[in-house]
Structure 1
Amino acid sequence: MTFLSGPRLLDWASSPPHLQFNKFVLTGYRPASSGSGCLRSLFYLHNELGNIYTHGSVLYHLFMCHRGGSPVYARLLALDMCGVCLVNTLGALPIIHCTLACRPWLRPAALVGYTLLSGLAGWRALTAPSTSARLRAFGWQAGARLLVFGARGMGLGAGAPGSLPCYLRMDALALLGGLVNVARLPERWGPGRFDYWGNSHQIMHLLSVGSILQLHAGVVPDLLWAARHACPKD
């Protein structure tokens, strides 16, 4: 990609207060821009460019410098958290469905229960005051998934052979990404060295992509298994 010349970028101290959430990223902040100015930032180098091109949170990272300020940023963050919650919810429902395929009395309760728990987790994430609090909010969903994985691992649930390791890698990658983002590594070790590339948020994005790929690798054979599997009759 050939980058265009952009506006004069800001340092951390000069950036708007609502964008000062990572004190170890020192430079490369975009100035407040119109909607078209935000779109133009797709084509010049700044410290959010890597985040825009490595994840599904495009709207949040692209328009977070909008001149509407903190109110616009809050709406974008809320939309982003809703997206994360939906991925965690919709991604887990087929896992629960397949794991409990031969337990028709338990499966509907588990699906409804996880959906309600996800709603609570989403609300907590939306109202969380910090990055670490948002990570803890989504931990409720992760804990519920671990119960499902444990049931499958102990033979209390069913599913395609080989899918469970994919699900375990899925959550391990997601957890690792969240911890890296909260810890602000590696930029904490070298403030200013990772302003544009290789900072914690970009690493989290890449790990999240890997997590989703592991979900896909596990769910596809699980659904195929469920479509042709005949449960034993009591």
Structure 2
Amino acid sequence: MAFLAGPRLLDWASSPPHLQFNKFVLTGYRPASSGSGCLRSLFYLHNELGNIYTHASVLYHLFMCHQGGSPVYARLLALDMCGVCLVNTLGALPIIHCTLACRPWLRPAALVGYTLLSGVAGWRALTAPSTSARLRAFGWQAGARLLVFGARGVGLGSGAPGSLPCYLRMDALALLGGLVNVARLPERWGPGRFDYWGNSHQIMHLLSVGSILQLHAGVVPDLLWTARHACPPD
């Protein structure tokens, strides 16, 4: 990819306060820009370029330097949190559906319950004051998924052979990404060395992609198994 010449970038101390959330990333901050200026930043090097190109939260990372300042940033962050919550919610519903395929009396309650829990988790994430608080908010969904996985592991649930390990890897990768992001590693060990590439948020993005791929690898055979499997009579 050929990079264009961009505007003069800022250091951490000169960047807007609402963008000073990682004190170990010292340089490469974009100045406040118009909407077209934000779009132009797709084509020059800055410290959010890797985040833009490695994740689905493109709007948040692309327009976070918008000249609208903190109010615009807050809306973008809220939109991003809604996206994370939807992934956690919609990704888990087919797992619950397949796991409880032979328990029709329990399956609707579990699906509704997880959806309601997700709404609470999403609200907590939207109102969380810090990155670690947002991670804890989504932990409620992870805990509920672990209950489903546990039921499946001890034979109380159903599903395709081989899908459960995919789901365990899915949540392990997502948790690892969240912890890396909260810990600000590896940039904490070398402030300024990972300003453009290889910082914690980019690592989290890549682990999140791996998590979603594991979800896909587990759900597809699960749904096929459910469509073909006949449950034993009660």
Q: With the length of structure 1 as denominator, give the TM-score of the two structures.
A: 1.00
User: 1:78 Cα deviation (Å)?
Assistant: 0.1
Deviations 1:150-202 (A, max 9, x none): 00000000000000000000000000000000000000000000000000000
Structure 2 CA distance for aligned equivalents of residues 77 and 109 of structure 1: 31
SS of the residue aligned with 2:156?
Answer: coil
Alpha-carbon distance between aligned partners in 1 of 2:17 and 2:199, rounded to the nearest angstrom = 20
Q: CA deviation at 1:130?
A: 0.0
Could you tell me how far 1:59 is from its partner in structure 2? 0.1
Instruction: Return the alpha-carbon distance in structure 2 between the equivalents of residues 103 and 232 of structure 1.
Output: 10
The structural deviation recorded for 1:56 is: 0.2
CA deviation after TM superposition for structure 1 residue 82, in Å: 0.1
Q: Deviations over 1:93-142 (max 9, x none)?
A: 00000000000000000000000000000000000000000000000000
Residue of structure 2 in register with 1:142 after alignment: 142
Distance 1:29 1:233 in 2: 62
TM-superposed CA distance for 1:233, in Å, is 0.4
Measured after TM superposition, the shift of residue 45 of structure 1 is 0.0
Match of 1:28, SS state, is coil
Quote the Cα distance in structure 2 between the aligned partners of 1:57 and 1:24: 22
SS of structure 2 residue aligned to 1:79: helix
**TM-fit CA distance, 1:231:** 0.2
3-state DSSP of counterpart to 1:65: coil
Deviation at 1:81, TM superposition (A): 0.1
Once the two structures are TM-superposed, the CA of residue 230 in structure 1 deviates from its matched residue by 0.3
Q: What is the deviation of 1:209?
A: 0.1
Q: Compute the displacement of 1:50 (Å).
A: 0.1
Q: Aligned with 1:151: secondary structure?
A: helix
How far did 1:14 drift? 0.1
Q: Give the Cα separation in 1 of the matches to 2:225 and 2:91.
A: 17
* TM-superposed deviation, 1:62: 0.0
Q: Which residue of 1 aligns with 2:204?
A: 204
TM-score with structure 2 setting the length: 1.00
Question: Following the alignment from structure 1 to structure 2, what is the Cα–Cα distance between the partners of residues 115 and 24?
Answer: 37
Secondary structure at the aligned position of 2:188 is classed as coil
Aligned equivalents of 2:75, 2:221: Cα separation in 1 = 37
- Ranges in structure 1 where 5+ consecutive residues have no aligned partner: none
Percentage of pairs with the same residue: 96
| Structure 1 CA distance for aligned equivalents of residues 159 and 226 of structure 2 | 7
Partner of 2:171: helix, strand, or coil?
helix
Once the two structures are superposed, residues 198-229 of structure 1 have per-residue CA deviations (whole angstroms, 9 ceiling, x without a partner) of: 00000000000000000000000000000010
Residue segments in structure 2 that go unaligned for 5+ positions in a row: none
How far apart are the structure 2 equivalents of 1:119 and 1:190? 38
> Aligned partners of 2:187, 2:232: CA distance in 1, in Å?
54
The whole-number CA distance in structure 1 between the counterparts of 2:182 and 2:153 is 30
Equivalent position SS for 1:90: helix
Paired residues in the alignment total 234
* Other structure's SS at 1:141 match: helix
- Distance in 2 separating the partners of 1:17 and 1:134: 19
Deviation of the 1:88 alpha carbon:
0.1
